[in-house]
Chains A and B, each alone.
Chain A
Amino acid sequence: MSDTGNGFWEAWRLILSLDPDLYEIVFLSLQVTVSAVIIASVIGLPMGAWLAVNRFRFRRYVIAVLNALMGLPPVVVGLFVYMMLSRAGPLGGFGLLFSPSAMIIAQVIIITPLIASISHQTIRDLWAEYHDLLISMNATRAQRMKALLWDGKRALLTATLAGFGRAIGEVGAIMIVGGNIEHITRVLTTAIALETGKGNFAFAMGLGLILITLAVIVNLLIHIIGKTERASTW
């Protein structure tokens, strides 16, 4: 398909010519998704650990609901957030609609269940291993969670990465709440949708290849920075 070939060269042309519009879109994409991933991790990782370590009456139901929330269709989340943030809606007074903040909010709602669920599964396995030891050492609940989160950090990184992957490729929700406004809320995915809608397939493909590369680079960076690649029992 010639469009694929054109897309490849178009991608290189855009990158090498240091096209400012392109880099603005890339920067905005990263800003929105990284912010969302950080917030979702701060909420989701300890939530998963807490669920793994504490026994309470409705625990099974909470876990089932959490896993079900992973299946939330992103575009429905977008619609919900839109109706909340619209001036005619309950949170309209903050004027957040059609801003990067609205996109971050939508993405946080979408990926927090995913991060919490993976965190829960990981920590549950680690807790099964550490259980006798930590109880024997008389560790408090908070101390147990801290030890599990720290020792499990490599697998928790996977949770964060999964969240990043889900968020960076998301388009439906952020299109609705962001409005795809040029320079303000236009990110890689919404730009691809736009260019495709204008019939500019080569340009859209170029953006697509950049998006893929971006996701792969961030993935690699996290692994290297984490310095957690060891030949260990993992």
Chain B
Amino acid sequence: MSINWITLFAATLLASASQAESLKMAVTTSFYNSGLSEILLPEIKADIGLDVELIVVGTGQALRLGEAGDVDAILVHARAAEEAFIAAGFGTHRREIMYNDFVFVGPSDDPANIATANSAVAALQGIAAAQAPFVSRGDDSGTHKKELSLWAGAGITPAGRWYRAAGSGMGATLNVASGMNAYTFSDRASWLNFGNKGDLALLFAGDPALFNQYAYIPVNPARWPHVRNDLAMQLEGWLTSEKAAALINAYTIDGVQLFTFNATAP
């Protein structure tokens, strides 16, 4: 097909002249919006000659892309959903790579007074009690699932005009919160890298319940023979290497470290 020839031609013109293999990986918007991939991808390319094509979607959609065999591997942060994915035979295994935490951001005058809360659950109770506007991811992502589990822990079913489901990725949701001057629940990395903070500020963090683990799952070649499992394993090897550890731990924004590497032997 002549169209593919043009694509090929353009790709060879614009991409670096290399024997690069390519791999499709679905990653969460939370991961992408941190900016870490811009550091890692060129290193991956240089070290193992692999072009990682990132499809940036919410965790829910990433898992569905894996189920459909449209990607070779996924990087998400929703443990329960990940284990279900593997149990159903769509993924071979999960490998923890790094973690960070979730935070609450909100209007700097903090009408719901969550800065003084002593737990994440208490913070949410404060917001619900004050009926302060709160924007939720609402997109079945890892962040969204974590938020819902916290509401469940607080014994509250959030509903009402103050609770707004954006149905969007992390950046878009932060935009909405910024525009409405509302509270929202975000991962720290996306927040730090976000360019439109407006009047929002980071108000609450540190509760162990806000722990956010990212894991890597290769799509199961037994289920989808066409996936590049060889490349996926190569990538896993790199992501759990000492070099990756150094790069991840060294990634900071405004002097703050965003992720902590915690991969162990498989």
List residues of chain A with CB under 8 Å of any chain B CB: 20, 24, 27-28, 31, 35, 86-89, 92, 95, 97-101, 104, 179-184, 196-201
Contact check, A180 vs B56: say whether CB atoms are below 8 A apart.
Answer: yes
> B193 — which chain A residues lie within 8 A by C-beta?
198
> A198 — which chain B residues lie within 8 A by C-beta?
33, 171, 193-195
> B15 — which chain A residues lie within 8 A by C-beta?
183
> B33 — which chain A residues lie within 8 A by C-beta?
197-198
Among residues of A, the one whose C-beta sits closest to the C-beta of B29 is A197
> B14 — which chain A residues lie within 8 A by C-beta?
20, 24, 27, 183
CA gap between A92 and B65 in the complex, in Å: 13
Contact check, B68 vs A87: say whether CB atoms are below 8 A apart.
Answer: yes
CA gap between A87 and B197 in the complex, in Å: 39
Contact check, B178 vs A31: say whether CB atoms are below 8 A apart.
Answer: no
A-B pairs, top 6 by smallest CB distance, nearest first, are A199-B196, A199-B195, A197-B171, A87-B69, A88-B68, A179-B55
Question: Nearest chain A CB to B199's CB is how many angstroms away?
Answer: 13
Interface residues of B in 42-58 (CB under 8 A from A): 51, 53-56
> B56 — which chain A residues lie within 8 A by C-beta?
180
9 A-B pairs besides A182-B53, A199-B196 with CB distance below 8 A are A27-B14, A28-B10, A35-B3, A86-B68, A181-B53, A184-B11, A199-B174, A199-B195, A201-B196
CA gap between A101 and B8 in the complex, in Å: 11
> A31 — which chain B residues lie within 8 A by C-beta?
6-7, 10
Contact check, A101 vs B10: say whether CB atoms are below 8 A apart.
Answer: no
> B106 — which chain A residues lie within 8 A by C-beta?
none
Quick one: which of A95, A99, A182, A199 contacts B7, CB cutoff 8 A? A99
CA gap between A202 and B166 in the complex, in Å: 23
Among residues of B, the one whose C-beta sits closest to the C-beta of A83 is B68
> B195 — which chain A residues lie within 8 A by C-beta?
198-201
CA gap between A98 and B53 in the complex, in Å: 9
Contact check, B175 vs A196: say whether CB atoms are below 8 A apart.
Answer: yes
Is B70 close to A, CB under 8 A?
yes
Question: Nearest chain A CB to B45's CB is how many angstroms away?
Answer: 11
Quick one: which of A88, A97, A197, A201 contacts B172, CB cutoff 8 A? A197
> B11 — which chain A residues lie within 8 A by C-beta?
184
CA gap between A196 and B15 in the complex, in Å: 26
> B238 — which chain A residues lie within 8 A by C-beta?
none
CA gap between A179 and B70 in the complex, in Å: 11
Among residues of B, the one whose C-beta sits closest to the C-beta of A196 is B175
Quick one: which of A24, A86, A104 contacts B70, CB cutoff 8 A? A86
